[in-house]
Amino acid sequence: MRFQDLLAYRKSFDLAMRIFEVSKSFPKEEVYSLTDQVRRCSRSVSANIAEAYGKRPYQKHFISKLSDSDAENLELQSWLAFALSCKYLEKHIFDELMEESHQVGKLINYMMANPQKFGSKQN
């Protein structure tokens, strides 16, 4: 299996691409703040899953990188809340993105709770 085959990776990657598209409509004055932050942390979720998969032989490292991914996913939710409050997102889009983020979080937490299912060995 490759990291690209992991459901958590695929869903987080798709979410990051959706956020990229949605954030294109954010105001120009947000390019170096909110737009940049929401894009960077959304991409970081899947990047950390990929890194974690590379560390899977070392359970503590695997879980640590997944924890980083989970933290980035929570940061993403915070930035989405700002985008909604600033009226850059419509409520139904916000709700959809948050639901996708929650699903990604559940997958990441499943991986952390079951590292052996992903090739991680206790060390």
Q: Would you state the pLDDT for residue 121?
A: 81
The residue assigned the tokens 């979080």 is 105
Report whether pLDDT(120) > 90: no
pLDDT of residue 40: 97
Question: How do residues 24-40 score in pLDDT, each as one tens digit?
Answer: 999 999 988 999 999 99
The pLDDT tens digits of the residues spanning 74-96 come to 999 999 999 999 999 999 999 99
| pLDDT at 8 > cutoff 70 | yes
pLDDT of residue 48: 98
Got the DSSP string for the chain? --GGG-HHHHHHHHHHHHHHHHHTTS-GGGIIIIIHHHHHHHHHHHHHHHHHHHTTTSHHHHHHHHHHHHHHHHHHHHHHHHHHHTTSS-HHHHHHHHHHHHHHHHHHHHHHH-GGGGT----
**Alpha carbons within 13 A on the beta-carbon side of 119:** 10
Q: Which of 17-21, 48-52, 117-121 has the lowest mean pLDDT?
A: 117-121
pLDDT attached to residue 123: 63
For range 106-114, the mean pLDDT: 98
More confident residue, 108 or 121: 108
Is pLDDT of 52 > 80? yes
**Structure tokens of 114?**
């079951």
